[in-house]
Chains A and B, each alone.
Chain A
Amino acid sequence: MEELKAIVEALIFASPEPLTMKALCKVLASEPKEDVQLALDSLKLDYEQPGGLQLIDIAGGMQIVTRTDLNEWVRRLFHERKTTKLSVQALETLAVIAYRQPVTSTEIAEIRGVNTSGVLATLMERKLVKIAGRKQVVGRPFLYATTREFLMRFGLNDLGDLPKVEDMADLLGFDLSTALSEPMPADQMLPLEVPGEEAVGTAASPDEMMPAAEPAEAAGTGGEKIH
């Protein structure tokens, strides 16, 4: 048992990417699954002891990383590459996509109140956002979704890990409990809603992901609905 635990630890350490359960079990196919799970649980318990490292779940896999509060020390070891930070606009757009995916550029623009295309290009370049299909409506606009890189960058294990509405109450400054007569969009936000017509995760049919030019969408957001 100890040996199996050691093997699991070695595998997680050696893996340059977070190690998924699937990959782990594949390597350890000769062992009964329950044993692997037990070894893993025991290993996780060990890593909860104070030390320099921690075992985290990230982007659907497991990874051994340095303890968060030791950052200042670890940083001194390196010459760091300069990374450009994401702008406020980019973060807001990313937030909309993260919670509403899959979502079209127009839908993002409606929520944010500004045109979105430049920011989208940046996010795609940084591999945080990808095209996940086309919406089956007139114009067949692209649908956007977040990527695995997004999960990695923001320390999320999966989309269910996104911060919940309740956690945001302080930041919002408004009392969410007093609702207007209409049901608040809050209900639709979390956990991740998957509308019926999207194509995320399902096998892309041949006519999706066509390399055609993106259909012209209404620039700007003039569409304020006045009842």
Chain B
Amino acid sequence: MSPTSPTGIEFEPSPDAYSVSLEHFSGPLDLLIHLIKKNEVNIYDIPIAFITAQYLEYIGLMQELDLDLAGEFLVMAATLIHIKSRMLLPRPDPLQDDDEEDPREALINRLLEYQKYKAAASLLHERETLRSAQWQRPDQRVAGIAGDEYETEVEVDLFSLMAAFRTVLDRAQQRPRMVLPAEQVSIEDRIEQLLGRLSETDACGFEDLFDDVNSRPALIVTFLALLEMIRLRLVRVFQAGMFGTIRVYKRPKPAENAG
């Protein structure tokens, strides 16, 4: 079955039919909902042949455009074709089959179910926006105060780093210790771990470096790893003002000459 020549269905794929960014579909159900709405068909009575054709056309296009096509899209294609074939077959003897099931029913239920959560997600997003318009004291979103001379971040010195590390150690002592086997991580390995973490965000707070370990030796190894990374010019560490939060930034390669 060629996706580009659906039997018996006449429709013109116009240029703007594909103006929707294909990659914005969060899955096959999302795509189906889109097709249903766009073609204004009745979801409770989906014209299976038509929708299947449309769906396969989109899949074909996604493949042509070399977009990453998750397996689920193909599974859904198979499902649609299966349903369509069941619709085409003559109905079994009504006397035998007591509940004459619509082969589309399961799919329709799934679509309606999915659609509800999609709508819920949209409402949640609204709530999030509303909530973000409310400011509290203190608000974690605040990085600095406008109007004041915004304290630019200054490259941090060893003593400030040690002071910050002392805070981390003290806080760790107060936390209940988890009884886990002590893992011996070398400084080199720890550097790799930290770099891996920084590669995702390019920067993180000083204290974030320590949030996946709990034992004192591990905390110390982490701190030493950080010092080593500074020495090796892999990262730069800045502090906002005298006692501000300390942030660690990954150095872009090649290493800068300045500083």
Contact = CB atoms under 8 A, between A and B. Distances in A.
Contacts of A80: 141-143
B188 interface: no
Nearest to A87: B26
A227 B113 CA distance: 18
Q: Among the interface residues B79, B112, B117, which one has the most CB atoms of the partner chain A within 10 A?
A: B117
A113 B106 CA distance: 13
Contacts of B79: 224, 226
Contacts of B145: 77-79
Interface stretch (A40-48, A132-140, A176-184): A176-184
Contacts of B120: 95, 98-99, 162-163, 168
Contacts of B110: 111, 113, 224
Interface string A103-139: 0000000011111000000000000000000000000
Contact of A168 (B83, B119, B130): B119
A155 B131 contact: yes
Main secondary structure of the interface of B (DSSP, over half): helix
Interface stretch (B60-68, B132-140, B228-236): B132-140
Contact of B117 (A78, A92, A178): A92
A74 interface: yes
A154 B136 contact: no
Contacts of A195: none
B123 A167 contact: yes
Contact of B105 (A95, A114, A115, A180): A180
Given A95-B124, A220-B75, A226-B106, A81 B141 contact: yes
A89 B26 CA distance: 6
B76 to A, nearest CB: 7
Q: Among the interface residues B37, B70, B110, which one has the most CB atoms of the partner chain A within 10 A?
A: B110
B130 A220 contact: no
Interface stretch (A3-11, A21-29, A59-67): A59-67
Interface of B: 24, 26-30, 37, 43-44, 70-72, 75-76, 79, 82-83, 101, 103, 105-110, 112-125, 127-128, 130-147, 150
**Pairs A-B, 7 closest by C-beta atoms:** A155-B131, A71-B133, A114-B27, A113-B29, A171-B119, A65-B134, A168-B119
Interface of A: 13, 16, 54, 56, 63-69, 71, 74, 76-81, 83, 86, 88-89, 91-92, 94-96, 98-99, 111-115, 152-156, 162-163, 165, 167-168, 171-174, 178, 180-182, 184-186, 189, 220-222, 224-227
25 contacts: A54-B134, A64-B137, A71-B134, A77-B147, A78-B145, A83-B141, A95-B118, A95-B124, A98-B124, A99-B120, A112-B117, A113-B27, A113-B28, A114-B28, A115-B72, A163-B123, A163-B127, A171-B123, A172-B115, A174-B43, A180-B105, A181-B105, A220-B70, A220-B72, A225-B106
